[in-house]
Structures are given as structure tokens and as C-alpha cells.
Chains A and B, each alone.
Chain A
Amino acid sequence: MLKEKEVKNLAEVTVRFAGDSGDGMQLTGSQFSDTTAAVGNDLSTLPDYPAEIRAPSGTIYGVSGFQLHFSSTDIHTPGDRPDVLVAMNPAALKKNLDELKPGGIIIVNTDAFDSKNLKLAKYESNPLEDGSIKGYEVYQVPVASLTSKALEDTSLSQKEISRCKNFFALGLMYWLFNRPLEPTLHWIQVKFRDTPEFIDANTKALNAGYNFGEMTEVFTTRFTVAPAKLPKGIYRSISGNEATALGFLAASVKSGLPLFLGSYPITPASEILQYLSYYKNFGVKTFQAEDEIAGVTAAIGAAFAGNLAITNTSGPGLALKTEGIGLAVMTELPLVIINVQRGGPSTGLPTKTEQADLLQSIYGRHGESPVPVLAAATPSDCFYMAIEASRIALKYMTPVILLTDGYLANGSEPWKIPHVNELPDISVKYWTQKEGFAPYNRDENLSRPWAIPGTPGLEHRIGGLEKANITGNVSYDPDNHHNMVKLRDQKVKGIVKDIPDLEVDGDQEGDLLVLGWGGTYGAITESVIKVREEGYRVSQAHLKYLNPFPKNTGEVLTRFNNILIPEINLGQLSKIIRSEFLTPVIQLNIVRGLPFRTSDIQNKIKEILGGKNNGR
């Protein structure tokens, strides 16, 4: 007789899957996320993978991880420290153990704990035997051999069988957290539709993992996390990169303009190119260029010819595109540059997140070169900010930089899918009349007419040389240059009348405002909620418009005694806020290539408000 297993109800759980880059941890994590989303939990994910595609197996630097935070309430971050760690080998255990919550659950694949792997992970002795993980709840499961056993009657090679072990682990986790197998079974059917033997094998491995949980004596408890109370609607799970791609697709549909992406592959931005290249039946054109420069300049050419033109990249690529962006400023053409920020400088930490391109985006060009800068706050917000960036670019005939980051790009969350008719309309009119046409005439927004090649009678020339006001002819006149420098500046500053005010969450005035921007929204929000629960009075505001700032920004800042600005850089927004508003700010800067831990922000808030500070 099997003992009835105890079922524990949890409000929220953070799970981390970790293994070799070849172990399929990203797939396992995303399958667990999709299933978890489908059962109605709120969730947030953080993939964490090495820069090498297949680093030597068994090594610490080859460990690939996927963290997932899910809950029965509204959540905002992928979780600080995991409650549960699934470690497929010794290196995965070694790399992640420090992060695990004290007393947390560890599920290990014991088959991988042989002397070779222990050595590769730089363990002197086996941590499963030497008592070094005594403080944790450890479940030792021979995942590899159990998978082999489950698949012994298949025609697969040993190597192929070994690749199925992540599905065994996934099945076990589904059992442990009471999730249905159907979404993944369905996914397997679709994914391997051309190779029935893999459908069979992966299905068997998944079921075997689930049944193992059910049958074994090892596990005495399983957990449930009740569905979250999310607003009514149809939901899907979405990552920042996919949301960005869909946002531009939506902007194309809403503006009636064909979408053109000029792009060069770069981590972590390439997926935007990949997604958009699938949307061919919407007429989307994706140009995988010979380099970053060709990506932006081809987009500028496409903008000249009348397309909604965009280019995507990450920090180093933005640097390469800089001269091109200057050209778009001078020619006053609509263009959106998406920068999925990563750890820098140089190649830096290509697969990790950072917020250190803010100054580059606002100021990093030759000459007086004003460019509106927007930043998305959450993975799904990338969708709306892509539309907003397009709207501003088209309305003001200007390049716009949209900042996301590696965390938003790869992280995912449930997204209540909007209906197309709820999305903002973007009306665009090309100039077609001969009367009153001059290439650098300006409308009430100071934007110039968009007269595209193919329009009879409006043949004109633009380019990188300074333009005479109105006629657009080349001009070296000193006063004209002064005037044009100011006009371009005023045009971008004028966007302030067209963007929402900065909203303050919580008390509208008080002791402390936590001011953030971009991808730290989730971490800041969760931190603020937690400290409020402890009785602290703290307000929060989040900037999504970095240039220009919302018009009430300065006034909001005056209402608080202290302004705390957490950033994953050395204080770039802080620097701008100080110089623009002559106000002191308190910085919190942690640049580890990872999202903020909410505990870091909470501690800082308490320190400022004079509460207890437990340290990190």
C-alpha cells in the first residue's frame, strides 16, 4: 500500500532548474512556465544561460539555469532565492547552492555525481555524502538511469535516451507541484510531429517522471499553488522579445505602413529578428544585413521610401549604429532603434542583463543630436512601448530609441491579450500635394512632411549635410545651423505634451519615493509592496519616458524628502535627475548582470527610513 502523500498549499514558489547547457534546462523551464501559466498562476521567469552555446559538459561555467516564480497572487519578479533547486549535475548544484533559500528543497540527478563530474565541478568530495548539504531537504533521484529504464524498449540510441532525461525531471516536477501533463504532451506532439519515435520517447520520459513521484517513497509531500486572481480575459505567456516583435507588428497594422526591420544578429536581441521574419503574411520585411551599420542604414533607406522602419540591437551594436542614428536625426525620418541592453562594456556579459546604456542612448552621439528615449518596464510592456515608440517616431519624424534589457527580453509573464481595436490608432499621412511642399517645412509639432519617392512632382533631396530651414537645401549658413540645432531640439522636447504624466503609487508626498526606470519595475514594485506590509510608508514612481521626461517629473520629485533610484548601472538616471532637476538623490547600484534582488531594495529602503537593516 502506498502511503497517502501530504498535500501542502503554498502561496508562492520559486523554482530553479539547472544543468549542463546541453541538458535542455531552458526547454524544461519554459514548459513548466507555460503549464503553470495555463493553470492560472501569476508568474515571472528568468532564464540564465552561459555565453557559450555548449560549454564543456560538467563544468561550472557550462551551467544553464532557468528560474521561475509562480504564485496565487500578483507577482512582479522571478524571485530572489529559489525554494526549490533541480540540479542535473554536481556543477549545477555547486553554482546554485548559495542562492537557494536556507532549508530549501534540492532535487538532484544522482547519476551525474560520479568522480569525473565531481572533479569537473571542483568538488573534493561528494556533497551528497559528506554532509555539506545537510541543512536542505535533499531528494536524490537517479534521473538518468530511471529515464534509460523507462525507454529501454524504444529504438533510441543511448545518447538520444540521455537527452530525454529533462522530460523525466519535468514530469517529476509536475507531480511535485500538481500540474497537468497535457500542455507538454501536446507540445511534444507538435514539436516532434515528423519523428514519432521522439514523441513516444519524450512522452514516456515525462510520464515516468510523474509516476516516479507518485510511486516512490522518497517524496512524502506534494505542493499546490492556487490560481492567482488575475483580471478577466484571455491570457498567454509572453517574453519581452516576442512582445517587442508583436508590438511593432501591431504598430504596422495600426499605421497601415509596411514594417521593415534592418538587423544584424546579436545576443540578446536576435529573437526580435527571428520572430518578425515569421510574420511574412503580414508583409513584414526583415533584412538580415551584413553588419549593424547596414541594419540601421537600410532601415533609414526604407524610412525614406515610406516604411515603418526599425532596427534592433544590443549595446555594442547601438554604438555601431550611432553614426546612422545621427543621419536619421539630420534627415528627420521616422525610425525606431530597439536596444536590448546587456552587460557591458565591449562583449561584456552578452547573455546577462544591465541598464548601462541609458547615457549612451540619450547623449551618445556626435553633434547636438536629440533622440526620444523610451524604456519598457515588464516583458509584456515591451508590446505597448513598441507601439508607443512607433507612434512618436511617425508623428514627430524622428528616430526613437526603445530600451529593453536581457531580463525583459528573455523573461516571460502572463499577458492579458488586448483586442486590436483597443490599441491606439497611429494615423500617418504621406505628403502628396505639390502646393505648399517644402522638405523642411514644419507642422505644429515641428515635424517635416514625409514625401516618399514615387510621388510625382515632389522630387527632393535630403542627406546628412545641414539643411536650410524649410527648403532643405544644403546650407552652411551659421545662423541657419544655430536655428536648425534649436529646432531639432525643440521638436524632441515638445513631445512632452504628448506623453502621460509620471504617476506616483502610494502616498503622493512623503519621506521616500523610489524612482526607477525600465526593467527594474518588477523588482522595485515587489520590494515596495513588501516593505509596506511591514509598515513602512514609501511611494513608487517609474519612468518609461527618459527623453523627454514627463512634464510633472520635477514637481513630483519636490514632494518627497528622499528620492531613491535603484539602477543596474553606476547611477546613470541619478546623474541625469541631479543635473536636470538639481535635486539630491540616493543611489542603489548593483551591477551583477542580474535583476535586482528585492531584498537589496528592501534593505536600502529600510536603511533610509531608519528601520532595521538585516544586510544582504
Chain B
Amino acid sequence: MADKVEAKEVKLTAKDFASDQDVRWCPGCGDYSVLAQVQRSFPDLVGIKKEDIVWVSGIGCSSRFPYYMNTYGFHGIHGRAAAIATGVKLANPKLSVWVATGDGDLLSIGGNHFIHACRKNVDLKILLFNNRIYGLTKGQYSPTSEQGKITKTTPYGSVDYPFRAISLALGSRATFIARTLDRDVKHLQAMIKRAAEHKGLAFVEIYQNCVIYNDGAFDIYTNKETKDDHTLYLQHAKPMLFGKNKEKGIKLDGTKLKVININESDNSINDVLVHDEFDESPLYATLLAFMAENSDLPTPVGVFRQVFRLTYDEGVENQIAHIKAKKGEGDLEKFLFSANTWEVN
């Protein structure tokens, strides 16, 4: 070992991950922040080489993402990013495969691919840029738009109900589920890194502001005046506290969550639910997933759930290895002649 020369790895910087293409999102779009945080986080990813990273996307504003990353990239067709990415990952499990997608792309036209990628636990990192609107097609309501939303295609308000992306991912058995905010750059970076480290399907919902067609949709969670009362930062093994002075907590009351003030005489910090990211049962995370749509409760961000299961790509590789060990490496000549044969002389 003595004469082994260790090649000095030059540490990459955010710049190394920027491609030479001009970024063409609208000025002020939340997508810029996601791109910047990804480029800032990626140099810190341990054990992942730049040439092994592949970004796959569908169609929509956020799906231009791969063009701006100096990694391998594939800009697919509407809704199919998860399926394309699955093919990439299965073909070469060494690759770190990322999906950039929007609420229309992933949850409407691509809903089927999303739930099946989750179910199979394909080792993909899916970043959902959720702006609750169709941006690229110029402002139609999306499957995450709130009911009553007035848009070009719903001039009198939408009548249907939105998806809760987190609960959909949970119901589809995703093994890592998190939510973050485009404007909270530290938290966004932290979630990207956590997703990268997870072995299995990692789903990160990013509340992303569309300045043109749905401006301010998430202001309440990011504005100085409102965020403390409306955003709950989930931290593993920590009590769920929020409010200006962390005076409010989430209590489990029967099967319902409610807000208590821990400074009031009847309550104490001991009444507050302690977050457990690793709870195997999806019920707990489901309760958290439904908080977002409940005006009495704050909206959680952070890691909702992380569980560990064999990934689909590993399962495929293991099975091939197993069958090879059992039957021996395939020999085509032998195989062709191994059927019921007869000889003609």
C-alpha cells in the first residue's frame, strides 16, 4: 500500500455545476433559487462524481433545469421524467439520478409514473417545483391549485380539489419525503443534501413562487411577519414548536392534531408531539401531510419521513447476480441449442 499514490481530488465549486447556457426563467422566479442551492450543495455530496450525475426532467418551466446544470442531462417529454429516470437508473445503477419536475408535470400528466416510481422505490431524487400553477403554458390551474382558484381556464374559480403531494408520495410508499421553501436557502440546501444521501426514492416538495402567474402563493410561509406562525420546521427528535417565541406546539389529541400554547397553565412542553422521521408507520406522517391544507395548523417543512428498504435497482441487480450464480453466466451458443432439438442428416 505504501507506494499507492492518492490522486488529489480537487474540490468542485458551485460554478463547476453551472452549464454555459443562459438561464431563461422570468426574473424573480423561484426556480433560480433552487438552481443556485443545487449548485451550491452538489460540491458537498460525498462519493458522487460529477460525471455520474444525471438530471432528467419533463416539460414545464422547472423542466429546463437540466440545461443549466453542467452534468449529464435529459430534457424529456411532458410527464415522463420519472419513467425516463427509472430507465437511466436501471441501466446503470452507479449513476446518481435526479428529476426536476413541476406540479403539472409530475402530478397531472405524469401522476402514474410518479406513484409507481415511489412504489418501486427506484433510487431517484425527485425535486417537485410546486408553484400551484401552469407557468409555461401561461397560467392555467394545476392539480395543486387551491379550490376556487381563478385562472385563465377557471375564470369562475376551480371546482376540483388539489392533491397533497406529500400524502400522495406517502400513499405510494416513497421512502424519503420532505418539503422545503425556495426562499429558505439554508433549509433548501439541507433538504437537497438529505435527499442525495438517501438510498431509495427521495421526494422533495419545494414551494416555489411563480412571480408571473401565482405570485405570493407561499408568502405566508416565508414573510417575516407571518412565517413564524404559519411554518413549522420539523426536526427529528425535537418537539414541534413554532411561533415567534416558539411558544406554540402541536399536540396529538386523539387522532387529531391541535395547536397549544405551552406557556398556558394547562399545557407544558411535554404535551408537544416530538417529531420522529423514522417512524415506520405512515399514519403519523400522514397526519403531518394533512396539516398543510388546514388553516388552524401551521404548514410543516422538513423531513416528514425516512425509512429504509431495498431499492428497485438493487433488487434487479441482486436478482441477476443470484440467477447468474445459480445457472452460471449465460452462454448464447449453449442456450440456443438447449431447447428440444433434433438433427437432420
Chain B residues near A420: list those with CB within 8 A. Answer: 332-333, 336
CB < 8 Å: which of A40, A283, A291, A456 contacts B49? Answer: A456
The contact string, 1 if C-beta is below 8 Å from chain B, for chain A 234-260, is 111100000000100110010000101
Contacts of A95 in B (CB 8 A): none
| Contact for B336 among A246, A309, A457, CB less than 8 A | A246
Asked if A301 and B320 make an inter-chain contact with CB atoms under 8 angstroms apart, the answer reads no
Q: How many residue pairs between the two chains, A and B, have CB atoms under 8 Å in the bound complex?
A: 208
Q: Given contacts A258-B91, A283-B330, A294-B116, is CB(A231)–CB(B344) below 8 Å? A: yes
A37, A279, A305, A473: the one within 8 Å of B21 (CB) = A473
B88 pairs with A301, CB closer than 8 A: yes
Q: B198 near A: Cβ within 8 Å?
A: no
Known: A183-B340, A301-B87. A294 touches B112 (CB 8 A): yes
The reply to whether B50 and A459 contact each other, CB–CB distance below 8 Å, is yes
- Whole-angstrom CA separation of A309 from B49 in the bound complex: 25
Question: Which of B71, B319, B339 is in CB contact (< 8 Å) with A236?
Answer: B339
Residue of B nearest to A307 (CB): B91
Name the residue on B nearest A237 (C-beta).
B340
Tell me the bound Cα distance from A289 to B86 in angstroms.
10
**A404 contacts B by Cβ under 8 Å:** no
1/0 contact trace for B323-336 toward A, CB 8 Å? Answer: 11011111011011
Interfacial residues of chain B within 67-102, with CB under 8 A of chain A in the complex? 67, 69-77, 80, 83-92, 94-95
Chain A residues 429 to 483 lying within 8 A of chain B, measured CB to CB, are 452-465, 473-474
Known: A304-B88, A305-B95. A453 touches B340 (CB 8 A): no
Residues of B within 8 A of A285 (CB): 90-91, 316, 320
> Are B342 and A301 in contact (CB-based, < 8 A)?
no
**How many Å lie between the Cα of A125 and that of B96 in the bound state?**
72
A298 to chain B, nearest CB (A): 3
Smallest beta-carbon distance A616→chain B, Å:
36
Report if B265 contacts A (CB, 8 A).
Answer: no
Residues of A within 8 A of B226 (CB): none
Q: Report the minimum CB–CB distance from A555 to chain B (whole Å).
A: 38
Expressed in whole angstroms, the Cα–Cα distance for A324 and B53 within the complex equals 23
A300 to B54 CA separation, bound complex (whole angstroms): 14
Bound-complex Cα distance A323 to B86 (A):
18
Bound form: Cα–Cα A236–B345 in Å: 14
Q: Is the CB of A464 within 8 A of B75?
A: yes
- CB of B311, distance to nearest CB on chain A (Å): 14
Asked if B113 CB lies within 8 Å of chain A CBs, one says yes
Query: Is A230's beta carbon under 8 Å from chain B?
Result: yes
Any chain A CB within 8 A of the CB of B66? yes
A305 touches B92 (CB 8 A): yes
CB within 8 Å for A282 and B86 given contacts A456-B51, A461-B74: no
Q: Which residue of B lies closest to A330 (CB)?
A: B77
On whether the beta carbons of B340 and A232 are closer than 8 Å, the reply is no
A417 CB-CB contact with B under 8 Å: yes
Q: How far is the CA of A175 from the CA of B86 in the complex (A)?
A: 54
B337 at the interface (CB under 8 A from A): yes
Contact A234 B76 (CB under 8 A): no
User: CB < 8 Å: which of B91, B332, B333 contacts A305?
Assistant: B91
A290 and B113 contact, Cβ closer than 8 Å, known pairs A37-B342, A459-B51, A460-B72: yes
Q: Is A418 interfacial (CB 8 A cutoff)?
A: yes
Beta-carbon contact of A38 and B332 below 8 Å: no
B253 close to chain A: CB less than 8 A: no
Q: Are A281 and B336 in contact (CB under 8 A)?
A: no
Q: Does A367 contact B (CB under 8 A)?
A: no
Residues of B within 8 A of A253 (CB): 330, 332
Proximity string of chain A (305-329) to chain B, C-beta cutoff 8 Å, 1 when within and 0 when not: 1110100000000000001101100
Residues of A within 8 A of B342 (CB): 37-38, 40, 234-236
Interface residues of A in 45-70 (CB under 8 A from B): none
Is there a chain B Cβ closer than 8 Å to A610's Cβ?
no
A461:B73 contact, CB within 8 angstroms: yes
B92 and A300: CB pair below 8 A? no
In the bound complex, how far is the Cα of B37 from the Cα of A306, in angstroms? 30
The listed residue (A34, A249, A454, A463) touching B94 by CB distance below 8 A is A454
B268 CB within 8 Å of chain A: no
Cβ of A297 under 8 Å from chain B: yes
Convert B103-114 into 0s and 1s, putting 1 for each residue whose CB lies closer than 8 angstroms to a CB of A. 000000000110
**14 extra interchain contacts, Cβ-Cβ under 8 A, other than A293-B83, A454-B94, A464-B76?**
A235-B341, A294-B113, A298-B84, A298-B86, A301-B56, A301-B87, A301-B89, A303-B91, A306-B92, A324-B80, A327-B76, A461-B19, A461-B67, A463-B73
- 23 A-B pairs with CB atoms under 8 Å apart are A231-B344, A235-B341, A235-B344, A250-B332, A260-B87, A279-B330, A280-B319, A280-B320, A281-B328, A285-B90, A297-B76, A301-B83, A305-B87, A307-B91, A324-B77, A326-B77, A416-B344, A420-B336, A453-B51, A456-B51, A459-B72, A461-B55, A463-B74
Task: Give the top 4 A-B pairs by smallest Cβ distance, nearest first.
Answer: A463-B75, A301-B87, A282-B330, A298-B87
- Measured CB to CB, the residues of B under 8 A from A are 19, 21, 49-57, 59, 66-67, 69-77, 80, 83-92, 94-95, 112-113, 115-116, 316, 319-320, 323-324, 326-330, 332-333, 335-337, 339-345
